[in-house]
C-alpha cells in the first residue's frame, strides 16, 4: 500500500525568516545556490509515515490523490515538486490562465537577470514527472469554476499570485485620460512580453525625464531598464518591440521617489548596487538630508546588517559622484519624502499626455520602526513625460473562495485555507503571494510553497477530510476537466505544447543573438501549434 515517505510534519520545521532583509543578506548570498539546496531551509528529522487515506477511500497508484493547482508560477511549481517528491500516489494538474507557464519568472523577472530565470530549469524537472499535467490557456473563474475543480479533484491549491496593483487614489492615474502613466505591472509586463500588455506602447520620446514612484526592487528594475545600454539589453530576452522603443528613447534622467526617507527603502543590496554601477550614469540624491539621517541613526544602522549595507552603498554612491571628474550623459535620482497629489497634463483644456507631477513634501513622525510620512504643507512640481507607479501588488478574490479584503489575501494557517469563522476548509490550500501577501524574493516563495506542501502531506497522513466525492467512482482530475473545457470551446495548452513554443522562441532568439524571442500572444502560440 502506498504512502508518503521520507517526510516530516510541519511541527518539526525550523523557519528561517526570509522576509527579514538582514536574514536574506546573511543566508541568501547566492539565490542560484538556494534553488539547488532546498534542504537549506529546514532542520529536518526524517520520519517514515503510515499509509494514508482520505474520504475517497484508500489511495493507491490506481486510485491517486488528485491535486489541482491554480497558477503555474514559482509558488505553484515548488508546491507541486514537494508533493510529488514525497507522495507516491499523488498527481498534480496545474491550471494556468496564460498559454505559457512559469508566471513571475517569465513575466516579472528583469530581462538582465538570467540567473534568476534559471528556476525554469527546476520547473521543467517537475513537469517531466508523468504524474504532473499542465493545463494552460484556462482561466479559473471564466472557463472553469471552483465547483468544476472540486468535482474532479481531492484537493485544490490556489497560487495565482497578485494580479492587481495598489493605487494612489488621485485623478488621471489609470492612464485613460492622460497617456504615459502606467502601473509597474503594466510596464514590466510590456517589456517582458505579457500578452495583455503587448500593445501598451509607452512614448519614450516626449522628454528626457521619467519618474518611478516607489522605493522597492521593481522600481529599480524599471529605472535600470530605462537607462541601460540598449546594446547590453539586446543580448537578453527582452521583447523586440520594447527594445525598439528603448533604442528611440530620449529618457536620460530617471527620478525614483518615495514618501519616506532613505532608512525606509525596500531595495535589496544587489539591486541598489546595480543602479550605482550603471555605465555613463550619475547618481543624484539629497546628500545633506541623507548624511543627516545616517548620522542621526548611526547606532541603529550599525545593528542592522542589511540596512547598514544599503546605507553604505548609498553613501559610496554619492561620494563617487562628488569626486569623479566624468560628466555622464544620464542621471538617476533617489528622491525622498515626496508623495504625488496630482498629475499635471500637457494641456489643461484638452489633456492627453502627462507633463509632470505635483508633490507633497513630507516629514517623518513616530519611531523608526513605525514612522509615517506626514505632509508639511509645502508642495513641489516635477516635470516628467513618463510616470510608472510601483506601489506594490494586491491579490484579487476568486468566486467561491474566502478572501480577506483588508489584507488582500486568502486567510490561512500554514497554507491551509480558513473560512470566515476561522475553521479549516477541507481540501483547500494556498501558496505564494495569495497566501502571505506580495513580498519576498523567489527563494522566499520556495520556502513558502514547501510549507504549504508539508501541510498537504501532513493532512494526508493524518487522514483529514479532503474535498468530498459527489460521484460513484474515483475522481478523474484533468482527464475529466479537459473534455469539459473542449465542450466549452477552450483549446488547452499542454506542457508538450509549451515546449514546442519554447523551441520556436529559442530559434527566433538565436537569429537575433538573444536567449529567446518571446511569443507574446495566444494567437501566435496556437499558430505555432498548428491551430
Residues of each annotated binding site for FAD: 75, 96, 104, 140, 433, 440-442
Binding residues: 75, 96, 104, 140, 215-218, 259-260, 271, 433, 440-442
Cα–Cα distance, 456 to 478 (Å, whole number): 19
- Pick the closest to residue 99 from 452, 479, 494, 406 (CA basis): 494
Looking at 409-518, which runs of residues are DSSP E strands? 412-413, 416-418, 424-430
Q: Are 259 and 339 in contact (CB under 8 A)?
A: yes
Report which DSSP code applies to 503.
H
Question: What cell does 531 get?
Answer: 491551430
Report which DSSP code applies to 422.
S
Q: Are 61 and 2 in contact (CB under 8 A)?
A: yes
The phi, psi pair for 398, rounded to 5°, reads -120, 135
Cα–Cα distance, 156 to 43 (Å, whole number): 28
Q: Are 114 and 515 in contact (CB under 8 A)?
A: yes
Binding residues for NADP(+): 215-218, 259-260, 271, 440
Residue 396: count of CB within 10 angstroms of its CB? 14
Question: 497 in helix, strand or coil?
Answer: helix
- Three-state SS string over 148-209 comes to HHHHHCCEEEECCCCCEECCCCCCCCCCCCCECEEEHHHHHHHHHCCHHHCCCCCCCCCCCE
**Residue 378 host element (H or E):** strand 372-383
Q: Rg (Cα) of the chain, in Å, rounded?
A: 24
DSSP-based helix, strand, coil % in the chain, nearest 5: 35, 20, 40
Cα–Cα distance, 37 to 122 (Å, whole number): 12
Cα distances (Å, whole numbers) of residue 519 to 222, 240, 418: 22, 10, 39
Q: Are 222 and 212 in contact (CB under 8 A)?
A: yes
Question: 346 in helix, strand or coil?
Answer: coil
Chain centroid, CA 415 distance in Å: 18
Cα distances (Å, whole numbers) of residue 109 to 90, 194, 482: 31, 12, 31
Pairing of strands 416-418, 424-430: antiparallel
Cα–Cα distance, 435 to 160 (Å, whole number): 10
Amino acid at each position: 500500500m502506498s504512502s508518503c515517505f521520507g517526510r516530516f510534519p510541519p511541527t518539526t520545521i525550523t523557519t528561517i525568516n526570509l522576509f527579514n532583509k538582514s536574514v536574506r543578506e546573511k543566508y541568501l548570498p547566492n539565490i542560484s545556490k538556494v534553488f539547488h539546496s532546498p534542504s537549506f531551509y529546514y532542520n529536518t528529522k526524517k520520519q517514515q509515515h503510515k499509509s494514508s487515506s482520505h474520504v475517497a477511500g484508500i489511495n493507491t497508484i490506481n486510485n491517486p490523490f488528485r491535486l489541482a493547482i491554480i497558477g503555474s508560477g514559482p509558488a505553484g511549481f515548488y508546491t507541486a515538486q514537494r508533493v510529488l517528491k514525497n507522495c507516491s500516489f499523488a498527481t498534480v494538474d496545474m491550471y494556468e490562465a496564460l498559454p505559457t507557464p512559469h508566471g513571475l519568472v517569465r513575466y516579472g523577472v528583469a530581462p538582465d537577470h538570467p540567473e534568476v530565470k534559471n528556476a525554469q530549469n527546476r520547473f521543467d524537472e517537475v513537469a517531466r514527472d508523468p504524474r504532473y499535467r499542465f493545463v494552460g490557456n484556462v482561466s479559473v473563474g471564466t472557463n472553469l469554476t471552483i465547483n468544476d475543480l472540486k468535482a474532479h479533484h481531492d484537493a485544490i491549491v490556489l497560487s495565482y499570485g497578485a494580479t492587481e496593483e495598489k493605487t494612489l487614489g488621485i485623478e488621471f492615474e489609470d492612464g485613460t485620460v492622460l497617456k504615459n502613466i502606467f502601473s509597474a505591472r503594466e510596464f514590466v509586463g510590456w517589456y517582458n512580453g505579457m500578452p495583455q500588455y503587448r500593445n501598451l506602447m509607452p512614448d519614450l520620446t516626449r522628454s528626457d525625464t521619467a519618474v518611478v514612484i516607489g522605493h522597492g526592487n521593481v522600481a529599480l528594475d524599471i529605472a535600470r531598464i530605462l537607462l541601460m545600454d540598449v546594446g547590453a539589453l539586446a543580448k537578453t530576452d527582452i521583447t523586440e518591440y520594447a527594445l525598439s522603443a528603448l533604442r528611440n528613447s530620449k529618457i536620460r534622467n530617471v527620478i525614483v521617489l518615495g514618501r519616506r526617507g532613505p532608512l525606509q527603502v525596500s531595495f535589496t543590496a544587489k539591486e541598489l548596487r546595480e543602479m550605482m554601477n550603471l555605465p555613463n550614469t550619475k547618481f543624484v540624491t539629497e546628500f545633506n538630508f541623507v548624511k543627516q539621517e545616517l548620522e542621526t541613526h548611526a547606532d541603529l544602522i550599525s545593528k542592522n546588517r542589511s540596512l547598514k549595507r544599503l546605507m553604505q552603498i548609498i553613501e559610496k554612491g554619492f561620494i563617487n559622484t562628488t569626486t569623479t571628474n566624468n560628466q555622464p550623459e544620464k542621471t538617476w535620482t533617489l528622491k525622498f519624502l515626496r508623495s504625488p497629489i496630482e498629475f499635471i497634463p500637457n494641456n489643461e483644456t484638452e489633456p492627453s499626455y502627462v507633463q509632470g507631477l505635483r508633490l507633497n513634501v513630507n516629514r517623518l513622525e513616530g519611531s523608526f520602526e513605525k514612522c509615517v510620512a506626514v505632509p508639511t504643507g509645502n508642495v513641489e512640481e516635477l516635470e516628467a513625460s513618463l510616470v510608472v507607479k510601483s506601489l506594490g501588488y494586491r491579490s484579487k478574490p476568486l468566486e467561491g473562495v474566502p478572501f480577506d479584503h483588508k489584507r488582500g489575501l486568502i486567510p490561512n494557517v500554514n497554507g491551509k485555507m480558513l473560512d470566515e469563522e476561522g475553521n479549516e476548509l477541507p481540501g483547500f490550500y494556498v501558496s505564494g503571494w495569495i497566501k502571505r501577501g506580495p513580498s519576498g524574493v523567489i527563494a522566499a516563495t520556495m520556502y513558502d510553497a514547501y510549507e504549504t506542501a508539508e501541510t498537504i502531506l501532513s493532512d494526508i497522513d493524518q487522514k483529514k477530510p479532503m474535498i468530498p466525492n459527489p460521484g460513484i467512482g474515483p475522481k478523474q482530475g484533468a482527464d475529466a476537466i479537459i473534455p469539459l473545457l473542449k465542450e466549452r470551446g477552450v483549446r488547452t495548452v499542454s506542457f508538450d505544447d509549451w515546449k514546442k513554443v519554447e523551441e520556436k522562441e529559442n530559434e527566433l532568439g538565436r537569429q537575433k543573438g538573444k536567449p529567446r524571442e518571446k511569443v507574446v500572444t495566444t494567437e501566435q502560440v496556437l499558430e505555432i501549434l498548428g491551430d
